[in-house]
Every structure is written in C-alpha cells, then in structure tokens.
Amino acid sequence: METLKNHPTIAETTTFLKTDKITVRYGNTVALQDVTLYIPANRVTVLIGPSGCGKSTTLRCLNALVKPLSGHIEYHDLPTQALGETDLRRSMGYAIQSVGLMPHMTVEENVDLVPKLLGWRKNSRTERVSRLLKLVRMDPDVYRNKYPDELSGGEAQRVGVARALGADPPVLLMDEPFGAVDPLTREQLQNEFIRIQRQLKKTVVFVTHDIDEAVRLADYLVIMKDGIIVQADSPEHILANPADTFVERFLGPDRSLKRLTLFTADRCMDKAISVHDSDGKENHNDDTSCCHWVVDKNGCPVSGRAWIQGKFVERQINSDTHTVQTYSSLKECMSSILSLGLTAAPVVDDDGRLCGEVRFETIQRISIS
C-alpha cells in the first residue's frame, strides 16, 4: 500500500518554465514585483492568493500576452524572446473560465480550433476530438454537435479542458478552470483532472481561489500576495510549516483535515472483502478494522457490515456519498465513513464495482504521520 504522495522538490525536477525577477505594472498598479518562479516539468504548479495578487498576470506573462517591465522568462532554458510568440502560444494550452467557449461554434469546432489552425489533416482531427471528449468523460456522439449554451457549467468546463489539450501542448495554463460550479461538480472535475494528469503528465500551471482545490491538485504550491510570492513549496511542506501568519491564516484552522486532501483513495486502499447476502455474522472475521461488503451480481456494493464496539452492524449503501471513487481524496473517504457509520469507505471503479476499501485506521495513521 502506497500512502505518501511524492512531491517533487525543485532540485529533483527539471525546470520547464522560469520567470526571473519579472515586474509588471498597469499604470500606478504594481501587479507583479520581482517575481522569480520555477515551474517544474510534468507537474502541477498551483498559484493561489487573494484577488488582485497577480495570479492571472503571471499566466499572461508566461503566455507572452503581457510583457514584463523588467526581468525575463525562460522556456525550456531558452529566453521566450528567442521563440516566436505564435510558437510559444501554440505550445501552451490555455483554459480560462471567463473567456469560455466560442458561442457560435459547436463543441467539436471549439475543441478542433487549434489543430485546425495548425493545418492538421481532417481525418486525424475528427478522431482527436473524439478522443479528447472521451478523455473528459463526454460521449462524442452526444456532445459533438451541441453549442456551448446547450451545456451545463460543468460540461462547458470539461470542453474547455479538452480544447486546451487540443493540439497536445506540453504546457497547460489553467486560470480558475473549475470556478463557478457547485462543490460536487467541482470535486468531480478535480477527480477527472487528477486522472487525466496521471495519464498525460503535462506541465500545468493552475490558478485557483480555492485552498482545498490547491492543496489537492498541486505538486508545487505557490502562495502569492500583493504581487510577490510569499511561499512556494510542496503542499505538505507548506501545511506543516507555513512561512508566516498570512500563509497560516490563508490555510485556515483545519490544516490537519486539509492534509487529507493530499492523498487519493487508490493509493491508500486495502483489499475489500465481498460477501453474499446470505453470509451471516459468524463468517465475519475478527478483524474489526475492515468491513464485509455485500455486492450484487455485477459486483456493486449494496451494504456494508462491521463489528463496532462489540456490536455487529449492517448499513445500506444507497447514496452516492456512501461510496468513493479511486481518485477521491481521503477527506471524501472520511465523509463516506461518517455518513455510512462503518469502519471503512467502499471504493468503486468507473462502473460502480467494489475495488477496495479505505479504513478509518489508515486515515488516522496518515493524519498523524
């Protein structure tokens, strides 16, 4: 069982993008002041900080949409000035909540935008759109010809991510890509993002306002305030050692609970024991930390059984909040354990089949480690 998420230190990973003492001013407003930022390759760097602290400006500088007054930016060891702006932008997918999708274009046309500009062949483009839509869990046959105003907020954001991935860019810039959706959809989008990133291993720079989202998704977390970087490190390190009272306040009082969002269920789960409805409590082994899960003919859990404080209990699984997915965080697992009232949370695969359990004692061990 693998329990610890390995966060890179900058020394361990190759820097892909670097800003070197960049300063940006808009009139009298200093948007960025001498910002030096190393962005590790194939990892997720998350920028977070109060409104107006310079997060979007940093992304715009990386994409050469804004030119710093002083300092410079290096892309893969090359100064960005050495690359053409068009080449630079094409190597970076940009997902922005506020700009959104082109309203007069279908989902297919939106996702196909950059590959078409790049002159890719029509056949391979059609195939690619299908692949990208499937990647963000949208059925191409259902969504290909829809217009953005026929999509829910969460679906539109998935298409935004598919569009950013369109031309398979090595770098993804994402400015609050999951803003403005309800917490449940947001959590699902985060799960999708974790799944996609484990497959594609892009160099991602992700902006968010949401500290839970930041801690959950970041390999490298950058906390900004008033145009400067206050602290940049792995989320674990920042949660354990906030640099000052600003960071401490920003992280909030529930730092130990936040630590639970660092871990996904699949990396902390144990094997689940599935049983038949007819198996009685006498068949339940005496390990009180694990549960027995009654599954239906498809392998989907319908109830869970456990010995709790000397009593044998059985609970029905009849709500989405009772089960967790492989990419759910340990915080969600804790919530499932509490709502079910058992000693473990059942983990299900994409088809709802039981594939493991996350035990309360595992969560407890990780939270104090």
Ligand X SMILES: Nc1ncnc2c1ncn2[C@@H]1O[C@H](COP(=O)(O)OP(=O)(O)OP(=O)(O)O)[C@@H](O)[C@H]1O
Could you list the residues that contact ligand X (CB under 6 A)?
Answer: 26, 29, 31, 51-57, 209
Q: For residues 249 and 271, which CB has a smaller minimum distance to ligand X in the complex?
A: 249
CA separation for the pair 117, 184 (Å, rounded): 35
**Min. distance of Cβ 305 from Mg ion in angstroms?**
49
**Min. distance of Cβ 151 from ligand X in angstroms?**
23
Backbone angles phi, psi at 173, to 5 degrees: -105, 125
Task: Check residue 208 for interaction with Mg ion (CB under 5 A).
Answer: no
Question: Which residue's beta carbon is nearest to the bound Mg ion?
Answer: 56
Considering CB distances under 5 to 8 angstroms, the limit depending on partner class, which of Mg ion, ligand X, none binds residue 54? ligand X
Backbone angles phi, psi at 347, to 5 degrees: -100, 130
**Min. distance of Cβ 303 from Mg ion in angstroms?**
46
Contact map string, positions 1 to 40, toward Mg ion, x by CB under 5 A = ----------------------------------------
Considering CB distances under 5 to 8 angstroms, the limit depending on partner class, which of ligand X, Mg ion, none binds residue 362? none
- Token digits of residue 155: 């679906």
- Token digits of residue 79: 């100064």
Q: For residues 136 and 251, which CB has a smaller minimum distance to ligand X in the complex?
A: 251
Asked if 115 and 128 touch (Cβ cutoff 8 Å), the reply is yes
Cα-based angle 280, 288, 330 (whole degrees, multiple of 5): 115
Q: How many CB atoms lie within 10 A of CB 202?
A: 21
- Token digits of residue 186: 């947001």
Q: For residues 54 and 242, which CB has a smaller minimum distance to ligand X in the complex?
A: 54
Considering CB distances under 5 to 8 angstroms, the limit depending on partner class, which of ligand X, Mg ion, none binds residue 51? ligand X
**Min. distance of Cβ 232 from ligand X in angstroms?**
15
| Torsion 247-248-251-257 (CA) sign | positive
Task: Check residue 110 for interaction with Mg ion (CB under 5 A).
Answer: no
DSSP assignments along 300-353, one per residue: -EEEEEEEETTEEEEEE--SGGGSEETT-BHHHHHHHHHHHTSSEEEEE-TTS-
Task: Check residue 57 for interaction with Mg ion (CB under 5 A).
Answer: no
Q: For residues 65 and 275, which CB has a smaller minimum distance to Mg ion in the complex?
A: 65
Q: Kindly give the pairing relationship between strand 70-75 and strand 78-79.
A: antiparallel
**Which of 256, 285, 259, 264 shows the shortest CA–CA distance to 273?**
285
Q: For residues 225 and 353, which CB has a smaller minimum distance to ligand X in the complex?
A: 225
Considering CB distances under 5 to 8 angstroms, the limit depending on partner class, which of Mg ion, ligand X, none binds residue 158? none
Task: Check residue 157 for interaction with Mg ion (CB under 5 A).
Answer: no
Q: For residues 29 and 241, which CB has a smaller minimum distance to ligand X in the complex?
A: 29
Q: Where are the alpha helices (DSSP H) in 44-143?
A: 55-62, 85-90, 107-111, 113-117, 122-135, 140-143
| Torsion 7-12-15-20 (CA) sign | positive
Asked if 125 and 116 touch (Cβ cutoff 8 Å), the reply is yes
Q: Quick one: which of 19, 45, 56, 110 contacts Mg ion (CB under 5 A)?
A: 56
Burial of 205 (0-12, 13-18, 19+ CB in 10 A): buried
Asked if 62 and 256 touch (Cβ cutoff 8 Å), the reply is no
**Min. distance of Cβ 5 from Mg ion in angstroms?**
27
**Min. distance of Cβ 209 from Mg ion in angstroms?**
9
**Min. distance of Cβ 69 from ligand X in angstroms?**
13
**Min. distance of Cβ 56 from Mg ion in angstroms?**
3
**Min. distance of Cβ 363 from ligand X in angstroms?**
32
Segment contacting Mg ion by CB under 5 A, of 24-32, 53-61, 64-72, 194-202:
53-61
Considering CB distances under 5 to 8 angstroms, the limit depending on partner class, which of ligand X, Mg ion, none binds residue 26? ligand X
Q: For residues 29 and 339, which CB has a smaller minimum distance to ligand X in the complex?
A: 29
Considering CB distances under 5 to 8 angstroms, the limit depending on partner class, which of ligand X, Mg ion, none binds residue 57? ligand X
Q: Residues in the site for Mg ion, rule: CB under 5 A?
A: 56
